[in-house]
Structure 1
Amino acid sequence: MPSSSTNARHSWLVLYVLLILAIPNLVLRLEADPQTTEAGHGCSSITYANTTVFKENLDTVFSQLAKNVSSTGFGTASAGTGINTVYGLAQCRNDLSKEDCNTCYTAAQNQILIYCPEDTGARMIYDGCFLRYENSSFFDQVLDVGYSNVCISGASSSPKLFNETVLNLLADIRSRALKNEGFAKGEISANGLPTAIYGLAMCRRTLNTSSCDLCLQTAIQIIQRCFSLQDGRALEAGCYLRYSTVAFFSTSSSSSPSKIVLILVGTLGGAALIAVLCLLFICRHSFRKLHTKFSSRSRREETEVYFIAEEDPNWDHLFSYDSLRSATKKFDPSMKIGEGGFGQVYKGIFNDGREVAVKKLFSQQSTRASDDFVTEVKLISAVRHRNLVRLLGCCTRGLEKLLVYELMPNMSLDRHLFAKTVKPLSWKKRFEIILGTAHGLAYLNEESPFRILHRDIKPANILLDNDFQAKIADFGLARLFPEDRTHLTTRVGGTIGYTAPEYAVHGHLTDKADVYSYGMLVLEIVSGRKYVDSKLPAHMELLLQWAWSLYEKNEAFSMVDERLIEEEPEVNREEILKIIQIALLCTQGVPELRPLMSKVVSMITSNTDILVQPTQPAFIDSESTPNELGSANVEWMEGPSVASSHATVSISLEPR
């Protein structure tokens, strides 16, 4: 009979073997990364004959690409005939696992429809995959008409040596890529440089060797505009090229730290290994506290930047990229709770059960430094109001920028207005949302420590707490992307309908732009429909035009949500008509005719009638143009209904 000590040794041995077998899998899991950092995107539009047919063909192409990518990491597809034909191509990096490839492709497909909802051509470029569709074949296209490069700031202390080293690396991976089906990666070190440099080259698999070579040679010329900086990408129609001082792929060197760790672990005894693991587990929390206390202050040169408002004792957690990635299950699509003009929003659940909303901002092709981003977030976080969503902190890593907000249990307003499966909001709740949003905007535009113009007021950016109180989201984000208005006017389906005409056409931005958007929002809240609905009769298709025509005929109450009337037959008719009048005042074509948001709050809460009558809103008379809009001086007046006939309004119009 074996002794008890022998059994014990066998037990230790079995445990030891299991641990050794499990560790490589664990390491591989930890290294899994779908590389969904955005490198760039683009939209192109050519008139198509039938919108419905084109979109059906696009869905077919997406379905075929998904199947091909799932099995081989690459695919081309086409569907349809004539002008409505759709051609598509998707390709993952050769070193991505099937799971990560599928995740990257799914993210690209979802995002490309957000950026280019009505376009006949689009491309989405992530670090891990590429997706493109057009209504003409592009599979053999090598170069774009222009060029695109993405550079990340952080200059090298030895620029000449750094640039020479990068050039040597790029030449090496270009040469190897031509012999390896258009894909190669590598790293290089040089005496005098503090870190190694990593590089990766990838051609579309539809290109032959000579076309791939031409593309990579061109990409090397483009990427030199980033030289002396820590990270650079070149994006061409037929290839992708990147270098970085941060390892953005798993290295294969036999002397890599991960392999050394595995060898050392493999030589340890089972008991020693368990003891080490237990010790690490016990010390983990203490170490993390020390690390988070000093890391953001003493190592500003790191690629990740964490932010916390130290003056607020409730902000006791530093949001690292890894913690947010874990809380959102690696930004799993099942955790996504919304998306808008600035990014996708995920629900995050930390180990302690705390729930937050994590907004993953769309990457911008900009060299804005992480410190600048953090400074802007600090400014935004100083803005506090009961009708604003609270910003908890931020994190950046490379081109990725994340914001962490308090989680709103009742999600966004659009889900309650437009989803027919959701119980319609009562008029009391709608009125409180209208008033709460006005309070929040008045604070942002006129009362906050520094004036903030939201620029993107719409139902998706009005969140609702447990009591359905309105809280404005995404305020201040336009400060982070001041150079780019495209997301407001052309790139995000739906947003253009809320944009003030003088801003959308001429770029004239004042606080009256937010007033216009607010007016459109109010009309949607009252009517329970979107600003445009092509399924309705022509005279009702545009909400603003329909509302104005009803108002002119003294039939404005006809626009009220039918579901609301069914639920509340005795709803306050006078209050609703007053709110409609305020909405139309906010959407007037001449900015100076629109009231300030503080005046809107006063009108909503006042028991007196509004004596100012709205003029015709903008963009509904096909014979007029934005250039014909004048400037106006208006004296806003209110009074009791019995005196309304005695009120006067002084309006003077002057041509521009």
Structure 2
Amino acid sequence: MKSCFAFSVSLSFLLLILLSVYPQRSESAPLYLWHYCPNATLFAINSTYQSNLNALLSSLSSSAAAAAATNNAGGFANATAGQNPPDKAYGLFLCRGDVSATTCSDCVTTGKKDILQRCPNQRVSAIWYEECLLRYSNQSIFSVVEEVPALLLRNITGNITDPAKLVQVFGNTIKDVAWRASGKTFAIATADVTTLERLYTMAQCTPDLTPWDCNTCLRSVIPLLPEGHVGGMMCTPSCIVRFALHLFYNASVVPGPLPPPVTSAELAPVPPPHEGIWEM
């Protein structure tokens, strides 16, 4: 799913709603964000790949439903269907680390149907909701860092009391949450900007990545975040990072002890995959 472009969407009203009411809508229908179908390779109706893809999506949906039935909020599964390329199908889902197992299952179930409608006859597709990511391909996507395609969402409305202080706090906190997520695949971090403003951040990678690869993905998208705004989010196939000046995740999620460093030395910044960002 490598391609050198990223989408940038300025949706001030939508993002304002999304960021402010999320805690009250965690058990409702998943909020669609974006889908990606490169339209590079198509499969024929009633083909072997279609049969394998249907089996794959059913397997992923069943895995999420089984987790919900046992209240196991793992939030991730991968699977394959078929034996031989190019008709073998590979797929995975990733749910936000702060959503319930039931919300995760509902999101995957919705994505299973939605992705086939939005990306008909596609061998490679992905769909993002606020609560989960679902993707599949006719080539293995497991344990592979994919930083593009990338979606940038930003909230362009709202007042900032001390813009310079926000930039400073943002830089430190976003690096901290990326470091935490590298060892735990999901992390949140907060920091006070002023006595009246607090910065909330979240980062997550697919658990099949190594800590190094997770850190690489997060560090490559962080430079694209709109640090001067009151909120923003980057979504890629392998990692997600988000920030806001108000609580947007489940407040009951409390970070555990800090994970060990990815390396003993500070990792060098990774150049962001920003060739030709499309403004929409």
Considering the TM-score relative to the shorter chain, is it more than 0.5? yes
Structure with the larger helix share: 1
Residues of 1 paired with 2:219 and 2:278: CA distance?
Answer: 23
Distance 1:49 1:198, change over 3 A: closer
Match of 2:242 in 1: 242
SS in 1 for 2:154: strand
- Work out whether 1:251 is the aligned partner of 2:251: yes
SS in 2 for 1:47: coil
Distance 1:126 1:145, change over 3 A: closer
Match of 1:3 in 2: none
Match of 1:47 in 2: 41
Residues of 2 paired with 1:144 and 1:240: CA distance?
Answer: 10
Distance 1:145 1:74, change over 3 A: closer
Match of 1:219 in 2: 221
Q: TM-score, normalised by structure 2?
A: 0.72
Deviation at 1:163, TM superposition (A): 1.8
- Work out whether 1:189 is the aligned partner of 2:192: yes
Task: Please tell me whether the aligned partners of residues 148 and 236 of structure 2 are also in contact (alpha carbons under 8 angstroms).
Answer: no
- Per-residue CA shift, 1:519-566, capped at 9, x if unaligned? xxxxxxxxxxxxxxxxxxxxxxxxxxxxxxxxxxxxxxxxxxxxxxxx
Residues of 2 paired with 1:239 and 1:195: CA distance?
Answer: 27
Residues of 1 paired with 2:63 and 2:236: CA distance?
Answer: 23
Deviation at 1:34, TM superposition (A): 5.6
Residues of 2 paired with 1:195 and 1:186: CA distance?
Answer: 14
Q: Equivalent of 1:66, from 61, 67, 71?
A: 61
Residues of 2 paired with 1:177 and 1:366: CA distance?
Answer: 28
Q: TM-score, normalised by structure 1?
A: 0.32
Deviation at 1:141, TM superposition (A): 2.4
Q: Equivalent of 2:178, from 160, 174, 177?
A: 174
Residues of 1 paired with 2:29 and 2:178: CA distance?
Answer: 21
State the percentage of identical aligned residues: 25
Residues of 1 paired with 2:30 and 2:56: CA distance?
Answer: 21
The aligned amino acid for 1:175 is W
Q: Structure 1: give runs of 5+ residues left out of the alignment.
A: 1-28, 255-364, 368-482, 484-656
Q: Equivalent of 1:77, from 73, 76, 79?
A: 79
Residues of 2 paired with 1:100 and 1:65: CA distance?
Answer: 15
Distance 1:64 1:143, change over 3 A: same
Distance 1:149 1:183, change over 3 A: same
Residues of 2 paired with 1:57 and 1:51: CA distance?
Answer: 12
Deviation at 1:203, TM superposition (A): 0.3
Match of 1:121 in 2: 124
Deviation at 1:32, TM superposition (A): 4.1
Residues of 1 paired with 2:29 and 2:205: CA distance?
Answer: 17
Residues of 2 paired with 1:253 and 1:102: CA distance?
Answer: 19
* 200-209 or 101-110: bigger deviation: 101-110
Task: Please tell me whether the aligned partners of residues 93 and 135 of structure 2 are also in contact (alpha carbons under 8 angstroms).
Answer: yes
- Work out whether 1:162 is the aligned partner of 2:166: yes
Residue correspondence of structure 1 range 241-640 to structure 2 within 5 A: 241-252=241-252
Distance 1:243 1:35, change over 3 A: farther
The aligned amino acid for 1:138 is I
Residues of 2 paired with 1:32 and 1:38: CA distance?
Answer: 13
Distance 1:146 1:104, change over 3 A: closer
Distance 1:143 1:199, change over 3 A: same
- Work out whether 1:143 is the aligned partner of 2:146: yes
SS in 2 for 1:142: coil
Please tell me whether Structure 1 or Structure 2 has the larger radius of gyration of its CA atoms: 1
Residues of 1 paired with 2:176 and 2:102: CA distance?
Answer: 29
Structure with the larger strand share: 2
SS in 2 for 1:83: coil
Residues of 2 paired with 1:41 and 1:197: CA distance?
Answer: 28
Deviation at 1:30, TM superposition (A): 6.2
Deviation at 1:88, TM superposition (A): 0.6
Deviation at 1:66, TM superposition (A): 1.1
Task: Please tell me whether the aligned partners of residues 148 and 222 of structure 1 are also in contact (alpha carbons under 8 angstroms).
Answer: no
- Per-residue CA shift, 1:179-209, capped at 9, x if unaligned? 32x11012222226x4322111110011011
SS in 2 for 1:51: coil
Task: Please tell me whether the aligned partners of residues 35 and 127 of structure 1 are also in contact (alpha carbons under 8 angstroms).
Answer: no
Deviation at 1:39, TM superposition (A): 3.4
Residues of 2 paired with 1:45 and 1:190: CA distance?
Answer: 44
SS in 2 for 1:216: helix
Task: Please tell me whether the aligned partners of residues 73 and 92 of structure 1 are also in contact (alpha carbons under 8 angstroms).
Answer: yes
Task: Please tell me whether the aligned partners of residues 125 and 131 of structure 1 are also in contact (alpha carbons under 8 angstroms).
Answer: yes
| More RCO (CA 8 Å, sep 6+) | 2
The aligned amino acid for 1:228 is G
Deviation at 1:148, TM superposition (A): 3.1
Aligned CA RMSD, in angstroms, stands at: 2.7
The aligned amino acid for 1:67 is S
Q: Structure 2: give runs of 5+ residues left out of the alignment.
A: 1-22, 68-73, 255-276
